[in-house]
Copies of this chain bind each other. A is one copy, B any other.
Amino acid sequence: MGYEDNVRKVVPYTPGEQPGGRVIKLNTNECPYPPSPRVQEAIRSLDTDALRKYPDPLCSELVSEIAGYYGLKDENVFTGVGSDDVLSMCFLTFFNGRDPVLFPNITYSFYDVWASVYGIPFRRVPLREDFSLDPSLYRQKNGGIVIANPNAPTGIAADLKVIEDIVSSNPGVMVIVDEAYIDFGGETALPLLDAHENLLIVRTLSKSRALAGMRIGYAFGQEKAIKYLNDVKFSVNSYTMNTPSLLAGKAAIEDDRYFREIRDKVISTREWVKKELRELKFSFGDSCTNFIFASHEGTHPGETEAGFAKRIFASLKERGIYVRYFDKPLIDGYLRISIGTDEEMREFMRVLKEIM
């Protein structure tokens, strides 16, 4: 017998590639614009001598900044190393029952990975054919629910009423609404927070605030839920967020004008790209995110949607343009195209037309 008998064997999540060199990177939903100039100031003026000391384990200043921005109390805010860390802690904290946790059959592919690594039973609930959410399917017995809204990789948003239906018909379990992309469209579940102790909303600074490299995520919940989450966090790693993160996160939230400016640019580029893709006969739902999830009929004799998507993905990559392709049932006919700068998207469209 070797030590391997006791090893937790898992199939990890596969992040999008991070190629070096001069490529057009439309594969990981990063922001095409740099973070606020205040982030640069915060990093440049960091007292590096103070790095000898542990960071504030409570992340108090960042928490207060976020709470203030959203009109919440500090006790309603939790922070972590990207929304992945926050979601991972949520799974560990709130999904400790025996009934399966529910999430859509097409959604962020990390949910089943977290369920697996922590030994949480789960069940995938079908989306409608148009990728929309059917709340009536969330009335079955369950140990918790996770909904990405807007959903990834589909880009589709659910109405607040749909979210409210799911939250209020499941008072006995925690409902986590992953709003990683909410700044680009859709309705936030924040107005539901006061009335629902079983609601947690997860956010990130990686996308709309252009800080993927800093790893900052956060969650909103009622005070008791945030306390449970903090208890688990302090049972895993007391000091998850380092000093530069705490400062950069605060600086990014402070600069609301800059945030609105780059968010609006991404949205207007997205709408322009939608039009272009429609002209090329791509099909996609109404993307509310910083990416578009699009399919296209085969253009060669006998070519399927999946064949087309796979071929275009490879051809784009050969030409230094990275989009995301998921070779998985239900979504293997789609390309997920992150929204870059106007210039990048013009080049993307040019190359796409050339390939097609």
A-to-B contact residues, CB < 8 Å: 1-15, 18, 25, 28, 30-35, 39-40, 43-44, 46, 48-57, 81-82, 84-85, 88, 92-97, 113-114, 116-117, 143-144, 171-174, 197-198, 206, 210-215, 224-225, 228, 230-245, 248
Closest B residue by C-beta to A85: B237
Closest B residue by C-beta to A172: B1
A33 to B10, CA, bound (A): 41
Q: For residue A356, give the distance in angstroms from its CB to the closest CB of chain B.
A: 28
Q: Is A232 within 8 A of B94, CB to CB?
A: no
Closest B residue by C-beta to A88: B236
Question: 9 A-B contacts, Cβ less than 8 Å apart?
Answer: A2-B198, A3-B173, A9-B228, A34-B49, A34-B50, A34-B51, A34-B52, A51-B248, A85-B240
Residues of chain B with a CB closer than 8 A to A144's CB: 3, 6
A234 to B82, CA, bound (A): 14
A57 to B215, CA, bound (A): 11
Residues of chain B with a CB closer than 8 A to A8's CB: 92-94, 96, 228, 232
Name the contact of A197 in the complex, choosing from B2, B40, B48, B113 (C-beta under 8 A): B2
Q: For residue A119, give the distance in angstroms from its CB to the closest CB of chain B.
A: 8
Name the contact of A7 in the complex, choosing from B6, B54, B93 (C-beta under 8 A): B93
A97 to B5, CA, bound (A): 7
> Known interface pairs A15-B239, A46-B43. Does A232 touch B52 (Cβ–Cβ under 8 Å)?
no
Residues of chain B with a CB closer than 8 A to A243's CB: 213-214
Q: Is A213 within 8 A of B2, CB to CB?
A: no
Residues of chain B with a CB closer than 8 A to A93's CB: 7-8
Residues of chain B with a CB closer than 8 A to A43's CB: 43, 46, 48, 244
Closest B residue by C-beta to A25: B53
Q: Is B31 within 8 A of A52, CB to CB?
A: yes
Closest B residue by C-beta to A209: B52
Closest B residue by C-beta to A142: B6
Q: Is B81 within 8 A of A237, CB to CB?
A: yes
Q: Is A239 within 8 A of B49, CB to CB?
A: no
Closest B residue by C-beta to A2: B172
